Chain A
Amino acid sequence: MELLALYLSAKLATVATLILIGIAAPLAYLLTNFTWPGKSFVEALVNLPIALPPTVIGFYLLFLLGPKGFVGTAWENLFGGTLLFTFTGIVVASIFYSLPFAIQPIKASFEKIDPRLKESAYVLGLSPVATFFRVIIPNSVNGIAAAAILVFLHTMGAFGVVLMVGGSIAGETRVASIAIYEAVESMQYEKAWALSLAFIPIGYGFLLLVNRLTRK
């Protein structure tokens, strides 16, 4: 059971991270390199999860992803299933929840790139999209990798949001953080210890890697 919960956490974190990097990198590029109307409103909106308690985010997402919510209805029309209390649902919730944690470090790594490189690409005939793929991304690989690790760890530790949207279904939505909480609730301290100990080397190892990646 402990291994299943850990596996589920790692699977959730991996899937959410891959999708998040795909969303956050272009969004960070739009936020750092261009001016457009409403930019500061969009930036504040994507950063909102930092400023809200996870249970509050989870509560809103419960309605948003539910059968009457905007995302839940759209999902049902497109794929014919529900999002609440499913693995897909907690992936979608984690994407909302962890988006600022992906955007911020990627934005920081894009801001470190000399703006003259972008100008150089433009005068050499590259469109802004081609510049993103041929200049910006290759020059911020370490920053993006560091962002991916931080998002992975952040999603691994998600509790409130996942519990609200996914509940606690073994093998589907009962991730390690929920399994730990339930083990403590039922006074099964060995289980709680075993799972909690697993987080230390994972977290510590990955943070060392982040230091290495972001060191100049």
Chain B
Amino acid sequence: MCLTAVLKKKTKFFTISVELTCPDGETLALIGPSGSGKTTIIRMLAGLVAPDEGRIVYRDRVFFDSARGVNLPPQKRKLGYVFQDYSLFPHLTLHGNAAFAAQNRGEVDALMSFFGLAALRDRKPHEVSGGERQRCAVCQALARNPQLLLLDEPFSALDVVTRRLLRNELKKITETRTFPVVYVTHDITEALFIGNTVLPIVGGAIDRAWMERITAPAAGTDARTKAARTTKLALAY
């Protein structure tokens, strides 16, 4: 079982045209420079933006089909969606946020403990750090028991150390789940770490040559620099 999508959408600067597949239990990382259309792609998967043409199917459920005029609203797609930032409800405590759409209250407490938020359950979002807010946003998305998890640069506003901690925690928890995860990032190390598959998006299209270019060492690099770079990459993971 997997998520498959064929998407076409005209934007101001280019036309997004991609085909993607993500099997259950796997993570698809969409990587690309800023303004390459990654966020629009994940928003189309969520139903927040309608493609001009295409089809999105998960298991037997058709989320979108331009040929048949099907376009399920985000409410009916049973998603977990983590935005870059500012998506927690400011009037609720962290627990109130995590439990906002929860199926099972007991699971909310377990998730909050896993992400180290148990002691902060009664704090409001503005009373905690950016990392804690994003941990809570992940709890909120997982607590509704989604059939598909979408993350749009969830940790990009955080410092490097927190980002690394959070992606470790996220990887640990998504590995135990059976749904597909689509993860948007502009950080190559993050994409390689978190994704079972990494899909490079440039100018609205899949561009594998770009990926090879940015991961290859510069021409003429000596062996020592190459080794140092490998070590750095390994550390970054």
Residues of chain A touching chain B, judged by Cβ–Cβ distance below 8 Å, are: 114, 116-117, 119-127, 135, 138-139
Contact of B75 among A117, A126, A139 (CB under 8 A): A126
Chain B neighbourhood of A135, CB < 8 A = 89
Name the interface residues of B159-191: CB closer than 8 Å to any CB of A.
none
Chain A neighbourhood of B48, CB < 8 A = 119, 122-123
> Are the CB atoms of B81 and A120 closer together than 8 Å?
yes
Does B87 touch A at the CB level, under 8 Å? yes
> Are the CB atoms of A139 and B90 closer together than 8 Å?
yes
Q: In this complex, what residue of B is CB-closest to A141?
A: B91
CA gap between A137 and B73 in the complex, in Å = 22
CA gap between A114 and B87 in the complex, in Å = 8
Chain A neighbourhood of B89, CB < 8 A = 117, 120-121, 135, 138-139
Does B78 touch A at the CB level, under 8 Å? yes
Residues of chain B touching chain A, judged by Cβ–Cβ distance below 8 Å, are: 46-48, 73-75, 77-81, 83, 86-91, 100-101, 140, 144
CA gap between A114 and B84 in the complex, in Å = 13
> Are the CB atoms of A125 and B81 closer together than 8 Å?
no
Between A and B, 20 residue pairs with Cβ closer than 8 Å are: A116-B86, A117-B87, A117-B89, A119-B48, A119-B83, A120-B81, A120-B88, A121-B89, A122-B75, A123-B48, A123-B79, A123-B81, A124-B100, A124-B140, A125-B75, A125-B78, A126-B75, A126-B101, A138-B89, A139-B90
> With contacts A119-B48, A125-B144 known, is A138 near B100, CB below 8 A?
no
> Are the CB atoms of B87 and A120 closer together than 8 Å?
yes
Tell me how far the C-beta of A216 lies from the nearest C-beta in chain B, rounded to whole angstroms. Answer: 12
> Are the CB atoms of B87 and A116 closer together than 8 Å?
yes
Chain A at the B interface: mostly helix, strand, loop or mixed?
A: helix
Beyond A124-B144, A125-B75, 9 additional contacts (C-beta under 8 Å) are: A117-B86, A119-B74, A119-B87, A123-B46, A123-B48, A124-B81, A124-B140, A126-B75, A135-B89
Q: In this complex, what residue of A is CB-closest to B81?
A: A123
> Are the CB atoms of B86 and A124 closer together than 8 Å?
no
> Are the CB atoms of B91 and A139 closer together than 8 Å?
yes
CA gap between A122 and B46 in the complex, in Å = 10
Chain B neighbourhood of A120, CB < 8 A = 81, 83, 87-89
Tell me how far the C-beta of A83 lies from the nearest C-beta in chain B, rounded to whole angstroms. Answer: 40
CA gap between A9 and B21 in the complex, in Å = 67
Tell me how far the C-beta of B79 lies from the nearest C-beta in chain A, rounded to whole angstroms. Answer: 5
Q: Which of A114, A116, A124, A139 has the most CB of B within 10 A?
A: A124
> With contacts A122-B75, A123-B74, A125-B101 known, is A116 near B83, CB below 8 A?
yes
> With contacts A119-B48, A120-B81 known, is A138 near B91, CB below 8 A?
yes
Chain B neighbourhood of A114, CB < 8 A = 86
Chain B neighbourhood of A117, CB < 8 A = 86-87, 89-90
Tell me how far the C-beta of A119 lies from the nearest C-beta in chain B, rounded to whole angstroms. Answer: 6
Q: Which of A114, A119, A127 has the most CB of B within 10 A?
A: A119
Tell me how far the C-beta of B143 lies from the nearest C-beta in chain A, rounded to whole angstroms. Answer: 10
Q: Which of B77, B80, B86, B89 has the most CB of A within 10 A?
A: B89
CA gap between A126 and B78 in the complex, in Å = 11
Chain B neighbourhood of A119, CB < 8 A = 48, 74, 83, 87
Which 6 pairs of residues, A with B, have the shortest CB-CB distance? A124-B101, A123-B81, A138-B91, A120-B87, A122-B74, A123-B74
CA gap between A123 and B141 in the complex, in Å = 9
CA gap between A126 and B75 in the complex, in Å = 6
> Are the CB atoms of A127 and B83 closer together than 8 Å?
no
Tell me how far the C-beta of A78 lies from the nearest C-beta in chain B, rounded to whole angstroms. Answer: 37
Chain A neighbourhood of B91, CB < 8 A = 138-139
CA gap between A123 and B83 in the complex, in Å = 11
CA gap between A127 and B73 in the complex, in Å = 10
CA gap between A123 and B89 in the complex, in Å = 13
Chain B neighbourhood of A123, CB < 8 A = 46-48, 74-75, 77, 79-81
CA gap between A180 and B58 in the complex, in Å = 71
Q: Which of A116, A120, A121, A139 has the most CB of B within 10 A?
A: A120
